[in-house]
Structure 1
Amino acid sequence: MKISWITLRVKNLEASKKFYGELLGMEQSRAFETPDGRQFAFFTDGNGMELELIGGGPCKVKEKGLANPQVSFGFQTDAYESILETAKKAGLNVNGPTVLGGHLECFFVEDPDGFSVQVMKA
């Protein structure tokens, strides 16, 4: 068994697409809109897992910074330094870098909806 996708309901789909696509380097694999106005965008990590972003329509999203603080997910990447530098230059809320467990170099960055995203050095 493996995790196939994670779904995030987002307030601003375009801002989230930019964050996950341009900053983190994920590739948008597909997108569509439903008759009730919900917009879906799927991003892949290149390893078979997808991130599903849902914006618009009847779903309600809390204000930025109020996303569930118990939800966090991480990416391991060879582009670690580049992503860290770009996130800082963009003025995003970055925590770290730090070393966890004596060997795992990482930092945390908030996405446009306040979700905590851990970026780990490959």
Structure 2
Amino acid sequence: MDFVWATITVRNMEESLQFYQEVAGLRLNRRVRSNESTELAFLGDGPTQIELIHRSNGEPQGIGKGISLGFGVEDLDGMMLKIKELGLEIHEGPFAPNPHVRFFYVLDPNGLRIQFVERR
């Protein structure tokens, strides 16, 4: 069994695509309309992807509490600088729970916590 994607229902597809491409560095692999009111986009750089869903006729979905997506980075300080240069705020952190890990969180355009982690 393979873990193939995590799905996020988004309020605005363009803002979400921009965030995941520019901030998280993910590649847009596929973007399709499944019907008149539903658009899907798949992003990723490996076998596991993020699926974004926008429903123009539906009510916005809430983001589950305690859920975050984590992305590994080589240089946490450099990533924090990039976040600030893009005009985004660091939501929490940075934290260093042990000598081998440092991380911080930002919020995506939908309020989902996104973690950037440096492992040494």
Normalised by the length of structure 2, the TM-score is: 0.85
Structure 2's unaligned 5+ residue stretches are: none
Cα distance in 2, alignment partners of residues 60 and 99 from structure 1: 38
Deviates more, 1:30-39 or 1:4-13: 30-39
Q: How does 1:1-122 map to 2 (within 5 A)?
A: 1-44=1-44, 46-62=45-61, 67-78=63-74, 80-94=76-90, 95-122=92-119
Alpha-carbon deviations, 1:13-63, whole Å to 9, x = none? 11111111011111111110122321111101x23110000113333215x
Pair 48,68 (structure 1): closer, same or farther in 2 beyond 3 Å = same
Q: Secondary structure, in 3 states, of the residue corresponding to 1:34?
A: strand
Normalised by the length of structure 1, the TM-score is: 0.84
Letter in 1 for 2:52: L
CA contact (8 A) 1:16 1:112 kept: yes
**Equivalent residue pairs, number:** 118
Q: Secondary structure, in 3 states, of the residue corresponding to 1:18?
A: helix
Cα distance in 1, alignment partners of residues 97 and 52 from structure 2: 29
Pair 105,55 (structure 1): closer, same or farther in 2 beyond 3 Å = same
Letter in 1 for 2:84: K
Pair 80,57 (structure 1): closer, same or farther in 2 beyond 3 Å = same
Cα distance in 2, alignment partners of residues 99 and 111 from structure 1: 22
Pair 82,15 (structure 1): closer, same or farther in 2 beyond 3 Å = farther
Letter in 2 for 1:83: M
Identity %: 27
Cα distance in 2, alignment partners of residues 74 and 61 from structure 1: 23
Letter in 2 for 1:49: T
